[in-house]
Amino acid sequence: MNESIAYLGLLADEEIELDSAALMLSALDHEGIDVEPYLELLRGIGKAIDAERSGAGDDELQSGEAQGALLARVIGTQFGFAGDSESYDAPLNADMVRVLDRRLGLPVSLSILYVAAARRAGWRSHALNTPGHVLVSIGPEDAPAIIDPFRRGALVQAEQLSELLTRAAISGPQAQSAVEPMSNRMTLVRLLLNQATRAEDAGDTWRACTIYERMTVVAPEHDAGWWALARLQLVHGEVEAARASLCAMLEISRDPERRRYVAAALSQLSGQSQA
* Of 205, 217, 212, 209, nearest in space to 21 by CA: 217
State the pLDDT at residue 171: 55
Question: What digits encode the pLDDT tens for the residues 137-161?
Answer: 999 999 899 999 999 999 999 888 8
Question: Would you state the pLDDT for residue 275?
Answer: 46
For the chain, the farthest-separated pair of C-alpha atoms sits apart, in whole angstroms, at 73
Kindly tell me if the per-residue pLDDT of 199 is higher than 70.
Answer: yes
75 and 147 Cβ atoms separated by less than 8 Å: no
Which has the closest alpha carbon to 206: 235, 248, 185?
Answer: 235
Pair 49, 74: CB distance under 8 Å: yes
Residue 234 to residues 175, 195, 209, 227, 237, Cα–Cα distance (Å): 36, 20, 10, 11, 5
Which amino acid belongs to residue 21? Answer: A
105 contacts 84 by C-beta, under 8 angstroms: yes
Residue 207's CB: how many other CB atoms inside 10 A?
18
- pLDDT tens, position by position, 179-188: 789 999 999 9
End-to-end, the C-alpha distance of the chain in Å comes to 35
pLDDT tens-digit profile of 69-118? 999 999 999 999 999 999 999 999 999 999 999 999 999 999 999 999 99
CA distance 85 to 92: 13
pTM of the model: 0.91
